[in-house]
Structure 1
Amino acid sequence: MTAAEAMPRQDIERAPAAEGPAPRRTRTTRPLTRSVSARTAWLLRCLSILVPLAAWQAVSASGRVDPAFLPSPSAVWAAGLDMAAGGELAADLAASLGRIAAGFGLAVLISVPLGFAMGTLGWAQPLLEPAVGILRYLPASAFIPLLIIWLGIGEASKVALLVLGVVFFNTLMTADAVRQVPRRLLEVSATLGASRPRVAARVVFPYALPGIIDAMRVNAAAAWNFVVVAELVAATSGLGYRITRAQRFLQTDRIFAILVVIGLIGLAIDVALRLLRARVGRWAR
């Protein structure tokens, strides 16, 4: 009788297995990005506004900074209400928005077709990209003296500055969005017998549209920067002009109020473009 047969049954069951080392317990790696609940997201959004506002109030209330250099939030609010009651804030805001609509709209009308051509046509990229790549590194504000000489000090020079500041960047970003279209979609379309214009209109453009809108979101902020710069020079209306007037009389509370208005309008434009992107590009989420 063997040793295994001589061992009681319960001892055999309790005996450890004489096999190799126990397998390692695998660790589950947490994803790098984790979504939060809607309630937590709204709480974080509120904190991103309230915490800097509270710090601003604390610094101004401490008395360590002269109110002429850093007015309190309440003083800025009062200055904004005073400008709104006098009608100057609405008039300047309308002037700046009109220039944004003209300059940014014209830049989009120029850059989207150029970028679409660079992303779809084999000859367009080597023809256009070198010139666009060089021009985008030229500071748009450096063209202000030339624009005044060429176009005068009226609206044309201000709109042209906006176009120069936005059109080249938006062209390259649009071309990059168009190049992101998967090649398999193009191959399937060609296999089904679709013509090149039909593929561009029905496949490439709808797929690239969310990326084109994202490029517009980024460059809309640049447009606001350039409209303020344009209004700082030889302007009689606009938010940039109002900042210059307030600076002459050391009215920092009015300057801060105008900056807050610019930030809120910019945020509204960004949210509107986000909603537009979510609506027309649900497949790209």
Structure 2
Amino acid sequence: MASETPVVASPAAASPRRRPRRVGERLSPRRYAATAVATFVVLIAVWWAATAFGLVDPLFLPGPDAVVAKLIAQAQNGQLWSDIAVSVYRIFVGFLLATVMALPLGVLMGANAHAEAALEPLIDFVRYMPVVAFVPLTILWVGTDDAQKFLIIWIGTFFQQVLLIADAVRQVPVSFVQLGETLGMGRAGILMRIVFPSALPRIWDAMRICLGWAWTWLVVAELVAATSGMGYRIMTAQRFFATDTIIGYVLVLGLLGLVFDQVMRAAGRRMFRHQRAAS
């Protein structure tokens, strides 16, 4: 009687196992979006459950339905849109002023050792000063109109931007500079045609990060000295214990910041897609 030979399944016939994700591997855009949306859905569900079952006093944490209803009412009477427009205008002007001034200075510091030695310690010294401490000084210097808001945003973002831009310039490979020297290019040509374009993707990311800080400092300025804007409306609501308005406006601020951040991120991917693909 012939002995039976055990049948061994080939590796190909076995059920395929999912390859473990490598460290640093990115998700596909669809999976990334689905995961991000799921996170928000879970947080909102926890918020709703905590308020619906009476675990938190509505005075301190109103439910999502109450907050949404209040935002709809604010939008219908035009107050929400007016506050958003004022705050976005202040952000745009203040951040643009800081960027226009920080860009050439940061590039100079990143490319020139003497400029770095002369300016970086001073900028480091100032950037560790709390921006909140400058609020009463800015009111004394320029009053309480929009110029004070611009100045607060400038103080909160200019010094950070300079250092981040300088660091982006320093990260340009030395081989790029050596290539320009081999081609007989001068220092100015190497800086403007090689170094600055190579550092631009990192500079853009630095600007995107600083834009998030700009929103924080704008709200600080509007909370203290303002007659309009998102921060002013939050402070006014605090006096009347209108927590639905406070939470609603805080959520709108977060949404605006997220939208601006994602727009800059998408623009950066589009503008620098060839450089990022080559890196």
TM-score normalised by the chain length of structure 2: 0.89
- Residue 127 of structure 1 is matched in structure 2 by 118
- Residue 270 of structure 1 is matched in structure 2 by 261
- Residue 3 of structure 1 is matched in structure 2 by none
1:211 & 1:83 partners in 2: Cα distance?
39
Change (3 A) 1:196 1:40: same
1:73 and 2:64 are equivalent in the alignment: yes
1:109 and 2:83 are equivalent in the alignment: no
1:211 and 2:211 are equivalent in the alignment: no
Change (3 A) 1:68 1:180: same
Q: What is the root-mean-square deviation of aligned Cα atoms in Å?
A: 1.5
**Structure 1 stretches of 4+ moved >4 Å:** none
- Residue 284 of structure 1 is matched in structure 2 by 276
Q: What's the CA shift for 1:196?
A: 1.7
Q: What's the CA shift for 1:234?
A: 2.2
- Residue 257 of structure 1 is matched in structure 2 by 248
* CA deviation vs aligned residue, 1:74-131 (integer Å, no higher than 9, x gap): 1110000000001111111111111101111111111111110000112110010010
1:266 & 1:71 partners in 2: Cα distance?
23
Change (3 A) 1:196 1:31: same
* Secondary structure at 1:237 match in 2: coil
- Residue 157 of structure 1 is matched in structure 2 by 148
* CA deviation vs aligned residue, 1:204-238 (integer Å, no higher than 9, x gap): 11111111111111111110011111011121100
Larger deviation: 190-199 or 99-108?
190-199
- Residue 98 of structure 1 is matched in structure 2 by 89
Q: What's the CA shift for 1:177?
A: 0.4
Change (3 A) 1:39 1:160: closer
1:37 & 1:121 partners in 2: Cα distance?
40
* CA deviation vs aligned residue, 1:38-87 (integer Å, no higher than 9, x gap): 44222211112111111111111110211111011111100000000011
1:101 & 1:258 partners in 2: Cα distance?
19
Q: 2:235 aligns with which of 244, 251, 256?
A: 244
Q: 1:143 aligns with which of 122, 129, 134?
A: 134
- Residue 32 of structure 2 is matched in structure 1 by 41
1:136 & 1:63 partners in 2: Cα distance?
45
2:50 & 2:215 partners in 1: Cα distance?
29
- Residue 5 of structure 2 is matched in structure 1 by none
2:171 & 2:157 partners in 1: Cα distance?
22
1:89 and 2:75 are equivalent in the alignment: no
- Residue 172 of structure 1 is matched in structure 2 by 163
Task: Supply the AA of the counterpart residue of 1:284.
Answer: R
1:284 & 1:178 partners in 2: Cα distance?
16
Change (3 A) 1:103 1:30: closer
Select the structure of larger CA radius of gyration.
1
Task: Supply the AA of the counterpart residue of 2:135.
Answer: I
Q: What's the CA shift for 1:147?
A: 1.0
- Residue 192 of structure 1 is matched in structure 2 by 183
Q: What's the CA shift for 1:172?
A: 0.3
2:271 & 2:21 partners in 1: Cα distance?
32
Identity of aligned residues (%): 43
* Secondary structure at 2:113 match in 1: coil
Number of matched residues? 258
1:245 & 1:223 partners in 2: Cα distance?
22
2:202 & 2:49 partners in 1: Cα distance?
41
